[in-house]
Chain A
Amino acid sequence: MSTWKSAKSVVSLLVAIGAATLLPSPARASQEFPEAIQEAAGMPCAPSCKLCHGKPVGDLASFTAKALSVALISQGFAPAAHDTNFVKQAFAKYKADPNNAEQVQALVEGTDPETGEALCGPTYGCGAHVAKQAPPADLAAPLWVVGAMVVGGLLRRRKPGAS
């Protein structure tokens, strides 16, 4: 018996398991920190990892590289916990301190409060970003021209038949 037949029955089982696991649990919660910061700070985008790690792909060891991450830790944030709620709670305390108003405003504008660099990178996907060209505000003139051409064409075709 060929093995693919036995595999066929196994695949049914695995597909069922796969379907069950399509409700994915979060991967590394640290990948969700940017969205948590975006939500907490009211940023226009999920910021680059550079905001807290100083480099584009962050890890635990580099989390203390920037002033904001150090400040969040001082507000009770524990990065190793990988809990986005901690980020939001710590940022709320950070935001409540009037001394941080300038930094918070920079984040709202999508820039790094420490370096002034842009924190909003590219957007991804193709279809959603192909903007249609806006139609002319007033179609009256071109419609009159087209209409006149059509009527003219029809009249010219009728003439030979009428004669």
Chain B
Amino acid sequence: MVSPSRGVSAAPPKPLLLLARVLLLLVPLAMFAAPREAHAYTWMIKHGYATCGACHTDPSGGELLTFYGRVLSGEVLSTHWGEAEQTARGHARPTRFAADPTRFAARAKLADKEGDAEASEGEEAAPAEANEGSADASADAATSENAEAPAAAAETPTDITPFMFGLFGLPDWLQLGGSYRHLNVITPTSDSKFATFPMMMDLYGQAQFGSFKIGGSIGGARVAAGSPYARPAQVTGNQGKDWNLISRTHYVGYDITGELQVRGGRLNLPFGVRIPEHVMWVRQATRTDRESAQQHGVSINYTVEKARVEVMGIAGNYQINPDKYRERGYAGYFEYFPTPEMSVGVSSLVTVAKDDRLLLEGKSMTRMAHGAMFRTAMGSKTVFVAEIDGLFRSRHEAGYVGFAQLDVEPTQGLHFMLTGEMLDEGHAKAIPGVAATPRTAGSGKPKVGGWLSAAWWFLPHFDVRIDGVQRTGEDLQVLAQLHVYL
């Protein structure tokens, strides 16, 4: 593409313009750092947020942020610039800014209790400055019907980052968000050393009218026909390397009570630790990632102070054709919180399809995964997360998959992570008269992997991340991402 101004002599650039131009050149280089798939950061447990519904419209976490989630993302997720400002914000977690605590169920109630105690320290230091976004935010809070947030209108969120950074005002009943993730893949030892592409371009939304809600996501993706990604979420039907409209989730829901809600539509499968790394084996082998593994069905979620459970009846992914490839069954988890900073849980998944869309055996496939998960804060800066699942498939030996991750946050917004993972999906059982396939790492033999990662939320709703990934039998990969949440 040729710029119309190309070749025309211009006036000397202003300093800001010059800076912007320099950044335009430098930022792509900086993109060698970055990402995770959407959000739902499991290490938020160290802030006492063991459950996810306070910050996300999905009660099990991920994607669209609630108003409260937007407030928290500025308060506890990203780096605070300037010592004075940081001191002013301190740990005054604005737990009472919740627009409607019934949406957040038990976690928000617990947060309210904590917030009452903490607010006495934080209120004194709360900045008086109110920008347009925060004014909207406090208006949201002021119009809340719920009496459990009486102080909402009296306080002003200090660091709310509204939708599209305030370019659009939203009515109380509507929550919108979006994500752009750009990924760079560097494979130093391969002939193909570098690839760069937009990994995620999604808009999310949810409208809520009383207890009734309707929401979903819409985005674009362009992947090769052989790619395992994006295609199961396609709305449009291009089968090659063309752009497609995708929708990862779309649903209607009803809050039966503050703690109990039912949703129907295309939903994230409730299984295991909802980590953002969709390529981690625990999510890939169980087919429970939030990249494109969602399924259509009906889900019931119940969250109280000490536990949460979600069970989903899976009707199949109706964005895959024909019907024989659709998996039907259930997925669910139960998680118990002995303390606000620790959780133990179990997950289970059983699906049946007339044919497996990846194996293409032309035979019925029953697929099961059952496992356990654990999360705990180890002090104020460190979180440990782990999951182990047994894998069971028709005509295959039993297998397993697991991961353990240590996350250290030396200063707010900057995370260093060390992750180990292991996989053996189970070797195909021998069929009489057919030559047996050899056992390989990951299929009949153990396969291990290690991740060394750094992530930095350098501004509210901006983060970069870099991962070094080494797995058995694979080239070293360096993944670098930039993420903007709208």
Residues of A within 8 A of B (CB): 1-8, 10-11, 13-18, 21-22, 24-35, 38, 45-46, 48-50, 54-57, 59-62, 65, 78, 80-82, 117-129
Bound state CA distance, A32 and B225, in angstroms? 7
Q: A1-B129, A56-B358, A118-B360 are in contact. Are A34 and B226 (CB under 8 A)?
A: yes
Bound state CA distance, A8 and B459, in angstroms? 10
| B120 contacts chain A at the CB level, 8 A cutoff | no
CB-based contact B440/A128 at 8 Å? no
CB distance from A11 to the nearest CB of B (A): 6
- Residue B195 contacts which of A13, A27, A120, A128 (CB distance < 8 angstroms)? A27
- CB contact list, B215-252 vs A, under 8 A: 222-228, 231-232, 234-241, 244
| B321 contacts chain A at the CB level, 8 A cutoff | yes
Q: Which of A50, A119, A123 has the most CB of B within 10 A?
A: A123
CB-based contact A7/B459 at 8 Å? yes
Q: A25-B197, A31-B223 are in contact. Are A17 and B236 (CB under 8 A)?
A: no
**Binary interface encoding of chain B residues 468-486 relative to chain A, with 1 for a CB under 8 A from any of its CBs, else 0:** 0000011100000010100
CB distance from B289 to the nearest CB of A (A): 13
CB-based contact A124/B234 at 8 Å? yes
Counting residue pairs across A and B whose Cβ atoms lie within 8 Å, the total is 197
CB-based contact A61/B440 at 8 Å? yes
CB-based contact B237/A128 at 8 Å? yes
Q: What are some 7 contacts across the A-B interface (CB < 8 A)?
A: A13-B24, A14-B482, A24-B196, A31-B223, A59-B474, A124-B231, A125-B235
Known: A26-B197, A126-B321. 14 other contacts (CB 8 A): A3-B459, A4-B74, A4-B160, A4-B460, A26-B195, A27-B227, A31-B224, A32-B225, A56-B360, A62-B440, A80-B191, A124-B232, A124-B320, A129-B321
Stretch from B161-169, B256-264, B269-277, B373-381 at the A interface: B161-169
CB-based contact A128/B236 at 8 Å? yes
**Binary interface encoding of chain B residues 354-384 relative to chain A, with 1 for a CB under 8 A from any of its CBs, else 0:** 0001111110000000000000000000000
Closest to A33 in B: B226
Bound state CA distance, A59 and B28, in angstroms? 28
CB-based contact B198/A21 at 8 Å? yes
Closest to A120 in B: B360
- Residue B359 contacts which of A2, A29, A34, A56 (CB distance < 8 angstroms)? A56
- Residue A121 contacts which of B20, B190, B360 (CB distance < 8 angstroms)? B360
CB-based contact B134/A125 at 8 Å? no
CB-based contact B198/A18 at 8 Å? yes
Of all A-B residue pairs in the complex, the 4 with the closest CB atoms, nearest first, are: A128-B237, A125-B237, A46-B225, A56-B358
Neighbouring A residues of B20 by C-beta, 8 Å = 13
CB-based contact A7/B131 at 8 Å? no
CB-based contact A129/B237 at 8 Å? yes
CB-based contact B474/A35 at 8 Å? no
CB-based contact B192/A28 at 8 Å? yes
- Residue B198 contacts which of A4, A24, A30 (CB distance < 8 angstroms)? A24
Bound state CA distance, A118 and B355, in angstroms? 11
Q: A13-B24, A26-B224 are in contact. Are A46 and B459 (CB under 8 A)?
A: no
CB-based contact B234/A21 at 8 Å? no
- Residue B226 contacts which of A3, A31, A78, A120 (CB distance < 8 angstroms)? A31
CB distance from A8 to the nearest CB of B (A): 4
CB-based contact A48/B192 at 8 Å? no
Closest to B28 in A: A17
CB-based contact B362/A14 at 8 Å? no
Bound state CA distance, A35 and B240, in angstroms? 7
Neighbouring A residues of B337 by C-beta, 8 Å = none
- Residue B224 contacts which of A13, A27, A128 (CB distance < 8 angstroms)? A27
CB-based contact A34/B319 at 8 Å? no
CB distance from B165 to the nearest CB of A (A): 4
CB-based contact A35/B241 at 8 Å? yes
CB distance from B398 to the nearest CB of A (A): 18
Bound state CA distance, A122 and B237, in angstroms? 11
CB-based contact A11/B165 at 8 Å? yes
CB-based contact A4/B159 at 8 Å? yes
Closest to B197 in A: A24
Bound state CA distance, A14 and B482, in angstroms? 9
CB-based contact A38/B129 at 8 Å? no
**Binary interface encoding of chain B residues 128-141 relative to chain A, with 1 for a CB under 8 A from any of its CBs, else 0:** 01010110000000
CB-based contact A80/B190 at 8 Å? yes
**Binary interface encoding of chain B residues 10-40 relative to chain A, with 1 for a CB under 8 A from any of its CBs, else 0:** 0000000000100110011000000000000
Closest to A7 in B: B459
CB distance from B97 to the nearest CB of A (A): 15
Closest to B233 in A: A124
Closest to B361 in A: A117
Neighbouring A residues of B78 by C-beta, 8 Å = 3
Bound state CA distance, A18 and B481, in angstroms? 12
Neighbouring B residues of A4 by C-beta, 8 Å = 74, 131, 133, 159-162, 165-166, 460-461
- CB contact list, B174-212 vs A, under 8 A: 180, 182, 185, 190-192, 195-198
Neighbouring A residues of B325 by C-beta, 8 Å = 121-122
Q: A46-B239, A48-B360, A125-B238 are in contact. Are A11 and B484 (CB under 8 A)?
A: yes
